[in-house]
Amino acid sequence: MKEDYLKFEAAYLSPYAVKSSETAGRAVWEEPCPLRTEFQRDRDRIVHSKSFRRLKHKTQVFLAPSGDHYRTRMTHTIEVMQIARTIARCLKLNEDLTEAIAFGHDLGHTPFGHIGERILAAETGHFEHNEQSLRVVTVLEDEGKGLNLTAEVLDGILEHKQSGNPKTLEGRVVALSDRIAYLNHDIDDGIRAGLLKEDDLPPSVEKVLGKGKRAKINSMVGDVVRMSLDRDVVEQSKEFKEATDELRQFMFERVYFAEHASQEEERAREWLSKLYEFYRANPLEVPEFYRSLSSSPEVYITDYMAGMTDTYVIKQLEKYFGYKWDSVL
DSSP structure string for 189-202: HHHHTTS--GGGS-
Residue range 221-249: mean pLDDT, rounded: 98
Domain that holds residue 81: 2-259
* DSSP per-residue codes, 117-184: HHHHHHHHS---HHHHHHHIIIIIHHHHT----BHHHHHHHHT-STT---SSHHHHHHHHHHHHHHHH
pLDDT, tens digit (0-9, with 9 covering 90-100), for 285-325: 999 999 999 999 999 999 999 999 999 999 999 999 998 77
- Side-chain-side CA neighbours of 153 within 13 Å: the count stands at 32
CA distances from 32 to 1, 20, 153, 163, 286 (A): 14, 12, 17, 34, 37
Asked whether the beta carbons of 268 and 116 are under 8 A apart, the reply is yes
- pLDDT one-digit tens code per residue, 218-228: 999 999 999 99
Average pLDDT over every residue of 215-237: 98
Q: Is residue 285 part of a domain?
A: no
Mean pLDDT, range 219-247, rounded to an integer: 98
Orientation angle between helical segments 95-104 and 38-47, nearest 10 degrees: 30
Q: From CA 161, how far away is CA 175, in angstroms rounded?
A: 6
Residue 274 lies in a domain: no
pLDDT band at 217 (very low <50, low <70, confident <90, very high): very high
The confidence band for 260, taking pLDDT boundaries of 50, 70 and 90, is: low
- Average pLDDT (175-199) is 92
Max intra-chain CA distance, the chain? 62
The dihedral formed by the CA atoms of 46, 102, 80 and 52, expressed in degrees to the nearest 10: 20
Query: Does residue 308 lie within any of the structural domains?
Result: no
User: Tell me, what's the pLDDT at 68?
Assistant: 80
DSSP labels for 235-272?
---HHHHHHHHHHHHHHIIIIITSHHHHHHHHHHHHHH
How much is the mean pLDDT over the chain? Answer: 94
Q: What are 26's strand-pairing partners?
A: 150
Listed residue (273, 279, 92) closest to 169, CA to CA: 92
Q: What is the pLDDT of residue 109?
A: 95
- Own/partner contacts of 27-34, CB < 8 Å, gap of 24 or more, are 27/138, 27/148, 28/148, 30/148, 33/2, 34/2
Confidence of residue 64 (pLDDT cuts 50, 70, 90): low
H/E segment holding residue 6: helix 2-12
Q: Note whether residue 40 is domain-resident.
A: yes
Has residue 328 got a pLDDT over 50? no
- Percentage with pLDDT > 90 across the chain: 81
Q: Is residue 221 part of a domain?
A: yes
pLDDT of amino acid 327 = 58
Confidence of residue 178 (pLDDT cuts 50, 70, 90): very high
Q: Has residue 213 got a pLDDT over 80?
A: yes
Question: pLDDT tier at 175 (50, 70, 90 boundaries)?
Answer: very high
Residue 1: predicted pLDDT: 76
Question: For residue 275, is it within any domain?
Answer: no
Interatomic CA distance for residues 284 and 211, integer angstroms? 53
Does residue 194 lie within any of the structural domains? Answer: yes
Ordered DSSP codes for 47-102: HTSHHHHHGGGSBSSSSS-SSTTS-BHHHHHHHHHHHHHHHHHHTT--HHHHHHHH
Taking residues 258-278, report their average pLDDT. Answer: 83
| pLDDT tier for residue 162 given thresholds of 50, 70 and 90 | confident
**Of 129 and 68, more confident:** 129
DSSP 295: S
- For residue 329, pLDDT beyond 50: no
Instruction: Give domain status of residue 171, yes or no.
Output: yes
Domain count, the chain: 1
pLDDT of residue 317: 93
Report CA-CA distances (Å) from 286 to 63, 144, 172, 245.
24, 15, 37, 41
- Domain CATH code at residue 144: 1.10.3210.10
Mean pLDDT of 93-112: 97
